[in-house]
Amino acid sequence: MKHLFRALSAETLKLNRTLALALVFLTPFALAFLEVAIGFEYGRRMYRVGGDAWMTLISHTAMMWNLLLLPLFVTLEMGLLGALEHNNSTWKQLFALPLPRWSIYAAKQLLAMGLIGLSMLALAAMTIGAGLIGRVCLPELGFDAPIPFGMLLQNMLLSYLAAWLIISIHLWVSLRWSSFVLAMSVGIVPTVISAVTFGSDWSPFNPWALPGEVSNGLFEMQPYLGALLLGLLGGVVVACLGCWESSRRDVLH
Amino acid sequence: MEPWMIETRQLTRSFKDTRAVDGLSLQVPAGSVYGFLGPNGAGKTTTIRMLLGLIHPDGGEIRLFNRRLRDDPMGVLRRVGSLVESPSLYPHLTGRENLEVLRRMTGGSRSEISRVLKVVNLENAANRLVRNYSLGMRQRLGLAAAMFGQPELLILDEPTNGLDPAGIHEMRELICRLPAEGLTVFLSSHLLSEVEQMVTQIGIVQSGRLIFQGKPDELKARTRNQVIVATDRLEESQKLLVQQGWKAVHGQNHHLTVPVNGAADAALINTRLVQAGHQVYQLSMEHPSLEDIFLKLTEEQEKK
Ligand SMILES: Nc1ncnc2c1ncn2[C@@H]1O[C@H](COP(=O)(O)OP(=O)(O)O)[C@@H](O)[C@H]1O
Ligand SMILES: [Mg+2]
């Protein structure tokens, strides 16, 4: 445990001045910005008179995020975390330190989960911000209703937990192999596939569609527990496999 | 039994069908600067990666500080500092932050960061981004990282590689000071000349096998003196000497090199050449340099 905390504290220092850290806030900001732009441009069509403006905003944001942005963001973010070590050939230094290798891997895993969680918290805050801009600038849309914090946070939390599986998969791929192209392909191809096949029978078993499945189930009042558990437990299992594999492999670079 | 800092027994490791390291048995005495030498591809980096537990041997045993590495890797690695090939540094962090990463991982005091920065003379550049460091500065920061936490054994792979002569000189001075502080240094190089002045012990590998181990003087003692001769007709002179049983070699330069046993041989060579009507411009006797011996030894092995 002592080793894990040490490694984690070193990991956070390495994030200084990195794109990986900036993206944690830039990505949700881009989406919130898009939502505001949509509100100004198409607000009257999208937010029907008498409808629940906040729920419309939250579910729209959630779908854009969970189906498209989150899988791509996880892909890029994990790729960057891997590149940080591969590009500077630091594995030979890290793994020659008197720390068990699993603790170094586990610290990366926790960092990765923390970063994605942070970006989703930021997204929640920025979604509220977007709605508040609507309340002030576009009073006819109905954002003067109370903010549904409960739904917003529940949606964020559940889709975040469902994303653990892709976080673990991508982290393992990008830490294990030095190719950035490989890391990107492993994310982009399934994300496109899952967006196209969303709603199909096997979509709830596609790791890259799980956050969307869970979020959609929540809003549409359909069962989502299976997808949630698959994402959550699958994430834990893959993370453990990653720890185990990292401590046996040859460090050649 | 001698307390070896590093001892390997029949260490072996293959990659697909190349035997990178082949039955290597090294003994590194405490307090020495051990030069681990061999041409490119001889298996030096592979050996060093095994010593650090980065890759697993196919066979054989590794002992550091008289303990088996695999019995207690953490306990052993705590006492070792390393610099393998290029230094492992994060260019987007400052020099000090790079060491702070190490400090956080291994525990240790902030004053240790200042100490190693001072040893490698990087105090003034400590707060600059490593991205803007020169190659020599990076190498020195890599050495500082290796020395962080006061290890008893430093394992350095090609620490002078890619440095300009001034950088090599600086590195050499740094490393030469270490044994006085109680450190044992194990360093590899493909150029004996770059490390000759600092090593007290030499191991030479070729194709994964150890072909010499001992003190530099022992290596020198294994070779004979040689006579350097320049004449007006080198080809004919060579033929003549070879006919008479000398191993005269015509190298790149405009002279012949002939291994001899002493001054009497040199005089004899001179007489024979002059008697045969050759004009001798130059005749001198010298001991081959360590580098010559090293090159000759590795070439001989190559042919086998
Ligand atoms: N990762 C690898 N995969 C395949 N062959 C390798 C690998 N690493 C080293 N080798 C081979 O092992 C031999 C020794 O390499 P190395 O230990 O790097 O030599 P040195 O450091 O002395 O130059 C070489 O023939 C090299 O091609
Ligand atoms: Mg090498």
- What pLDDT digit, counting tens, does each position of A213-229 carry? 999 999 999 999 999 99
- Count of all residues that appear for chain A in the document: 253
- Residues B83 and B229 occupy one common structural domain: no
pLDDT digits (tens, 9 = 90+) for A134-182: 999 999 899 999 999 999 999 999 999 999 999 999 999 999 999 999 9
Reduced to 3 states (helix: H, G, I; strand: E, B; else coil), residue B4 is: strand
What confidence score (pLDDT) does residue B285 get?
A: 87
CA distance to A127, A166, A214, B3, per residue, from A217 (Å): 20, 19, 5, 68
pLDDT bin (cut points 50, 70, 90) of residue A22 is very high
What confidence score (pLDDT) does residue B123 get?
A: 96
Give residue B247's domain range: 225-287
- CATH of residue B200: 3.40.50.300
- CATH of residue B259: 3.30.70
What confidence score (pLDDT) does residue B249 get?
A: 87
CB atoms within 10 A of CB B270: 15
Give residue A222's domain range: 2-247
Whether residue B35 has its Cβ less than 6 Å from ligand 1: no
- Residues B143 and B245 occupy one common structural domain: no
- Taking the CA of residue B157 as reference, the ligand 1 atom at the shortest distance is 21
What confidence score (pLDDT) does residue B251 get?
A: 75
Kindly report the pTM of this predicted structure.
0.91
- Residues B128 and B11 occupy one common structural domain: yes
- The DSSP code for B61 is E
**Is residue B300 in some structural domain?**
no
pLDDT digits (tens, 9 = 90+) for B141-152: 999 999 999 999
CA-to-CA distance for B216 and B219, rounded, in angstroms? 5
What is the distance in A from the centroid of ligand 1 to the CA of A8? 33
Q: Is B182 left (phi over 0), alpha (psi -120 to 50) or beta?
A: left
- Residues B15 and B127 occupy one common structural domain: yes
**Is the pLDDT at A103 greater than 60, yes or no?**
yes
Residue listed under structure tokens 């303990």 = B67
pLDDT digits (tens, 9 = 90+) for B28-55: 999 999 999 999 999 999 999 999 999 9
What confidence score (pLDDT) does residue A44 get?
A: 84
B92 and A99 within 8 Å at the Cβ level: the answer is: no
**Is the pLDDT at A60 greater than 90, yes or no?**
yes
Q: Which of B90, B96, B147 to mutate to test the interface with A (most CBs of A within 10 A)?
A: B90
Q: Give, as residue ranges, everything with CB less than 5 Å from ion ligand 2.
A: B 45
**Is residue A252 in some structural domain?**
no
What confidence score (pLDDT) does residue A50 get?
A: 72
**Is residue A167 in some structural domain?**
yes
CA-to-CA distance for A203 and B83, rounded, in angstroms? 48
pLDDT > 90 in chain A, percent:
90
What confidence score (pLDDT) does residue B294 get?
A: 84
- The DSSP code for B162 is T
The number of folded domains in chain B is 2
Whether residue B205 has its Cβ less than 6 Å from ligand 1: no
What confidence score (pLDDT) does residue A1 get?
A: 84
**Is residue A128 in some structural domain?**
yes
**Is residue B110 in some structural domain?**
yes
**Is residue B57 in some structural domain?**
yes
CA-to-CA distance for B178 and B119, rounded, in angstroms? 10
Report ipTM (2 d.p.). Answer: 0.93
**Residue to substitute in B24, B36, B46, B210 for testing ligand 1 pocket (most ligand atoms within 8 angstroms of CB):** B46
Tell me which H or E stretch contains B284: strand B280-286
What confidence score (pLDDT) does residue B1 get?
A: 55
Residue B129 C-alpha, separation from nearest chain A C-alpha, in angstroms: 11
pLDDT digits (tens, 9 = 90+) for A225-245: 999 999 999 999 999 999 999
- Residues B60 and B89 occupy one common structural domain: yes
Residue nearest to atom 26 of ligand 1 (CA): B41
Sign of torsion over alpha carbons A111, A208, A241, B80? negative
What confidence score (pLDDT) does residue A175 get?
A: 97
What confidence score (pLDDT) does residue B194 get?
A: 87
**Is residue A122 in some structural domain?**
yes
- Residues B138 and B244 occupy one common structural domain: no
The number of folded domains in chain A is 1
Which portions of chain B are predicted below pLDDT 70? 1-2, 304
